[in-house]
Amino acid sequence: MRIAQINISSYGSTGKIMLQIAQEARTQGHDVLTFSRKWWRNKEIEGHQYFGLPLEHALHHATGYITGDEGYGSVISTAMLIRKLKKFRPDVLLLHNLHGWYICLPMLFDYIRREGIRTVWTFHDCWPFTGHCPYFDFVKCDRWKEECGNCPSFRNYPASLFDNSRKMLSRKKKWFTGIRDMQIICPSEWLADLVSMSYLNAYPVSVIHNGIDLSVFKYRDSDIRARYSRITDSEKVVMGVAFDWEKRKGLDVFLSLREMLGDGYRIVLVGTDEKTDELLPDDIISIHRTENQEELAELYSAADVFVNPTREDNYPTVNMEAIACGTPVATFRTGGSPESVPQSCGIVVGKDDTESLAEAVIKLCENREGFRNSCIRYAVNFSSSEMTSRYLDVLIKDGGKKRH
């Protein structure tokens, strides 16, 4: 079988998922090509092709920012992609993130209709069924259920100067419906429930949770206390990880926890930058973003508890990574975040209930060793190989956990 995949990039969480699926499919004898936008610097990857013109993508971004039109640019780049797809002649097309000003959406979906290609689309966020935003929990908006407009998030990614959300939702309904053979995959039950309430509810939906590399994310010995001398032997390490620290990710919650937990607890935030450092008090340890996955696993392993106070999320990878390293998780009941945290591996509290979150941190730290063992046992559920196997069931055998 010939399988083609499209994503905005070959890196990051969605890029890794795309490449993991491709690798597993090839080991089973299938012919796979993956595609992402061509940017100024691209790493060569076997079986992966970059398409488009960086200058055209940049122009697409600029015009999208000015007008709010997301899917009309990159015409030449999309024609190049379609030419590559026609040459490859895929039996099935797996789509990932299509937002990011790099593809002409009406051209792509017209091609899919004309060729009658069987299509599977993984929704990594809510963008396909909203007029603008990837998430809407933080601003408590449900206009996407009808027609959008008066968007409270139009200045956020994918940012624009003007609110064009009503027209964009109308256009998406035209572009994304009427596909003869399309199936949607969601990483969480939460997102699948939202799809069932959207204009895309006629398409079948399967839930396939994201996976992680358990050969990397596992319990490891760590010298974190030696490396960061401010952490005393008696202190409990409360860890948070994000790569865009802001209120949406709960930075303010950690500042509150610092006051509520008091002495005996040391907060360590990973994925920070100079801008974040300016907002943090001296007694919170800031560790800038690291690309070293083994080092990140050591940090998870050294923590007594992992805290994820996200206010918008799908199925957070950080929860899985922490649990796989034997560290229990305390999180808000946000999006799909609770789905990866059973009672044996952590505590879920109400969204924005910081007082209950502090109590959860204390409780988890009191039984750290007991939670470590149960977390390590539960981590087998997060295997990336299991995820890719389920994807191939859908792509090749048309199986999977179908909801309707």
SS (H, E, C) 175-199: HHCCCCCEEEEECCHHHHHHHHCCC
Average pLDDT over residues 215-231: 84
Would you say residue 164 has pLDDT above 80? yes
How high is the pLDDT of residue 369?
84
How high is the pLDDT of residue 402?
47
pTM to 2 decimals? 0.93
How high is the pLDDT of residue 400?
39
Query: Which one of 3.30.1540.20, 2.40.50.140, 3.40.50.2000, 3.30.70.1050 gives the CATH number of domain 224-382?
Result: 3.40.50.2000
Give 96-141 pLDDT, tens digit per residue.
Answer: 999 999 999 999 999 999 999 999 999 999 999 999 999 999 999 9
Residue 367's pLDDT band (cuts 50, 70, 90): confident
Average pLDDT over residues 351-361: 97
In percent, how much of the chain has pLDDT > 70? Answer: 98
Would you say residue 398 has pLDDT above 70? no
Give 35-65 pLDDT, tens digit per residue.
Answer: 999 988 788 999 999 999 999 999 999 999 9
For CATH 3.40.50.2000, the residue range(s) in the chain are 2-211+384-397, 224-382
Q: Is 67 left (phi over 0), alpha (psi -120 to 50) or beta?
A: alpha
Q: Looking at the domain covering 2-211+384-397, what would its CATH class be?
A: alpha beta
Whole-angstrom distance, CA of residue 61 vs CA of residue 396: 35
Which three-class secondary structure state does DSSP give residue 309? coil
Average model confidence (pLDDT) across the chain: 94
